[in-house]
Chains A and B, each alone.
Chain A
Amino acid sequence: MADVELPETPLLDELEKGPWPSFIKEIKRAAIEQEKAMKAGKKIKLPGAAKGLLKVLELAYEEKRTHWKHGGIVSVIGYGGGVIGRYCDLEDKVPEVWHFHTMRINMPAGWFYQTKALRAICDAWEKWGSGLTNFHGSTGDIILLGTRTEYLQPMTNALAYLDKLYGSPAPFDIGGSGSDLRTPSACMGPALCEFACYDTLKACYEFTMRYQNELHRPMWPYKFKIKCSGCPNDCVAAKARSDFAIIGTWKDEIQIDQEAVREYAKVIDIEKQVVKKCPTGAISWDGKELKIDNRECIRCMHCINVMPKALKPGKERGATILIGGKAPFVDGAIIGWVAVPFIPADELIEKCCEMLEAIWEWWDEEGKFRERVGELIWRKGMDEFLKVIGQKADVRMVYAPRNNPFIFWRELQE
């Protein structure tokens, strides 16, 4: 650290104190690495970008105001999303970060990388950008922070040929931003998790490949997010953070290995930690045998999470589709509503695609500017939405779980 001179940042240094990870520490590391790379003769297009960022941040803390403005260039050839324009209003004082555009890169389904791929992305970004990354943004994309307008296209080209130019196992593409389909995301699914009720990785890949036009060209009223969770644990927070949540579930009974339950009984208090914690009181334990009244099970996953070796989701697996979830920063968060209670795993992708296309057509036609699909359903009514996706009302389509079921008395109205 000693041979690289960093700007004086007394206020930012406060953010390095304490046991938690610090983004300031990481920006400083990036500044040092960038300088070392330059000394090693590497071609770097934005020298001093990380140092410049430190200067702008320190000034922002000093003056208690931001120096960033956003908008402007959003694209590379043919694309309308994936780049978020950022400019700094201190072009005379800190020219290194005058342009500081963000690039969103489509991550692999389930966030599985080979280290070769990560190195290749970082090498390309070290050349064409600031070298600063964020793994991962809230939608799940790889976020590359800070480059100039003229380097957006070369960086995109580098990603498209990352295998040939930088030795990555596969090329990469930019992801979604603006009023388009945002990069679909999925939990690690069957690749690492025995609770997965369908192949989340395959579903995510299929949606990404099939809807390239929707992903790259922002033509809708607002953003649309698809997230795939393999089981009701919902590790990608699909029901809270996506307009179209696909959450794995099962139709039959939880599989119980009684021998394994008795093994668990030696190390945990099953009555206290499992039976009493069941939200619907569906479980009983007599010291020898665990019984579950599956009609009462609401798929909270607690018992399965506590005793994963003894309990497993049922054999008849598939997914529930929830619609209209969103999680904005300020207010207006909505949890997704059940749109389809169960689709068998082997029919899931095709059924979802049919539904997605019908929803998009309706929303594109009826949606107001910056109106998410969930808000449109509020405005037009669940009744109309169900017609769009060809579903009949079902008691499981609850607005607030176990509180406000939608009941349509159409026959009586007519």
Chain B
Amino acid sequence: MTEEINKEELKQKVLEHLAKKPWQVRDLAKVLRVKKRELDKIVQELINEGKAAYWSSGSTTYVTTKEKLEEMEKKRSGT
């Protein structure tokens, strides 16, 4: 039960960070002080839930929130 709460808390923290800017998972893992492997799973869950998404700078893949992704996509395609 405690683990579940911690996981949910971590998910929430991850979403808060993703809403600010796109992150590489390894950098976010350092900031949140969690193992990258653990964060990989959480990020994937968020993506499967439709709350997060991948975004590319052209050479590097980042993770961000769905809303932020749409915003960046609009900016990039010039609309």
Interface residues in chain A, defined as those with a beta carbon under 8 Å from any beta carbon in chain B: 69-75, 77-81, 84-85, 87, 91, 98-99, 149, 178-180, 213, 217-219, 221, 364-365, 369-370
Contact = CB atoms under 8 A, between A and B. Distances in A.
Contact of A149 (B43, B54, B58, B77): B77
Contacts of A75: 53-54
Given A81-B61, A179-B60, A217-B44, A74 B77 contact: no
Interface residues of B, number: 26
A103 to B, nearest CB: 14
* Chain A binding surface, main DSSP class: loop
A99 B78 CA distance: 11
B76 A71 contact: yes
Nearest to B53: A75
Given A72-B73, A217-B40, 10 more contacts: A71-B56, A72-B56, A72-B76, A72-B77, A74-B54, A219-B25, A219-B40, A364-B36, A369-B26, A370-B60
B24 to A, nearest CB: 7
A105 B7 CA distance: 35
A325 B12 CA distance: 40
A178 B56 CA distance: 8
Contacts of B59: 71, 370
B6 interface: no
B73 A74 contact: no
Contacts of B61: 74, 80-81, 178-180, 218
B57 interface: yes
Interface of B: 24-26, 36-37, 40, 43-44, 47-48, 50, 53-61, 69, 72-73, 76-78
A85 B77 CA distance: 10
B54 A80 contact: yes
Contacts of A179: 60-61
A99 B55 contact: no
Contacts of B73: 72-73, 149
B16 to A, nearest CB: 20
B77 A218 contact: no
Nearest to A89: B78
A365 B72 CA distance: 30
8 contacts: A73-B55, A73-B56, A79-B54, A149-B73, A178-B60, A178-B61, A179-B60, A221-B26
A87 B54 contact: no
